Chain A
Amino acid sequence: MRHGILSTQMLKSPLLQQKRVHGVGGGGKSKSLLFSMNLTTLIDAFCILVIFLLSNMNGQLQNIEVGKNTVLPTATVSEIMSAGVVIRMENNEIYIEDKKIAVENIVQSLIDHKTEEKNSLIIQADKNSDYDKISLLLRAGGQAGFEKYAFAVLPGTYAATK
């Protein structure tokens, strides 16, 4: 037991060798304030944080910014947002890819933005908007040749919005 692996490791541990603060006894030697921190536990915690944040990263292909005055509707059955042209209605004004567009130019602008990768129309509007305004966007999308529409929603239940 005297020559056990634990005792030799303790004697030769880097922390004890580098330690300059002699807490126990001291034996009359001069005290030094230099000491080394054991970073192993901190690195363990950092590793856990990195793994957590990496697993939290979603596979969203399209990240959209929601306007300050816009409250998106809630849906329980929703999918990951795929790439597409974002059309946003905020305070009765229409924005395509964050650029303000006049009503008469919506179709042309949608045609300009439509590509092979961006072949769906992402509609972002306030939940209290009237349907006639949404219908305007749908009709413009249809005229621009969009077949696939994605309504931006927040995942959740209706309990709070009843």
Chain B
Amino acid sequence: MGLASSSGGKKDLNVELNLLPVFDILSVCICFLLMTVVWVEVRALETKQAIGGQSLSETDPKPSIWLSIDEKNNITVTFKSPKAQETSSLVSAKNGQIDWSKAQNLLLTTPSKKIESAHILPTKTTKYDQVIRLMDLLKQNGIKDVGLSPI
């Protein structure tokens, strides 16, 4: 059934493959893959939160960035380092919204090689989208440990 040789008196070496079963399998494969395909892929922005109490003296002081958002969408960016003095800069809100271009410039120009962690301190009224965007900006800057402070 699989092979059909051409008719004739002499034995012919030319054979024709029956492609219909292959065609069937491929059709089933395509139907299955089309049904199971995920058109809108949801991805994840991961973070780790500490649980339990580790005293401040037990933790190694490391350079970090603290981003504090107030209710008027101003961001106070504080660079904390155990060896150097704390430095703060304010990113003022623009038309009641976070000034993303300023925030981006400030965070992307920060030398992040030594800074390993960042903390975001939003307020009750801060929008989830804004928090995620700040986390994204920090991750773009190469900071892997981004923490969120629950209210």
Interface code B119-137, partner A: CB below 8 Å = 1, 0 otherwise?
0001111111101110110
Interface code A37-52, partner B: CB below 8 Å = 1, 0 otherwise?
0011011001101100
B contact residues around A46 at 8 Å (CB): 23, 26-27, 30
Is B47 within 8 A of A151, CB to CB?
yes
Q: Is the interface of A mostly helix, strand, loop or mixed?
A: mixed
Contacting residue for B125 out of A63, A120, A130, A153, CB 8 A: A130
Interface residues of A (CB under 8 A from B): 9, 12, 14, 17, 39-40, 42-43, 46-47, 49-50, 53-54, 56-58, 60, 63-64, 66, 72-82, 120, 122, 125-135, 138-139, 141-142, 145-155, 158, 161-162
Offer 24 A-B interface pairs, CB within 8 angstroms, sorted by A. Answer: A14-B4, A17-B7, A50-B26, A50-B29, A50-B33, A53-B30, A73-B133, A75-B133, A76-B136, A77-B139, A78-B44, A79-B45, A81-B44, A128-B129, A130-B128, A131-B126, A131-B127, A132-B124, A147-B49, A148-B48, A149-B48, A149-B49, A151-B132, A153-B45
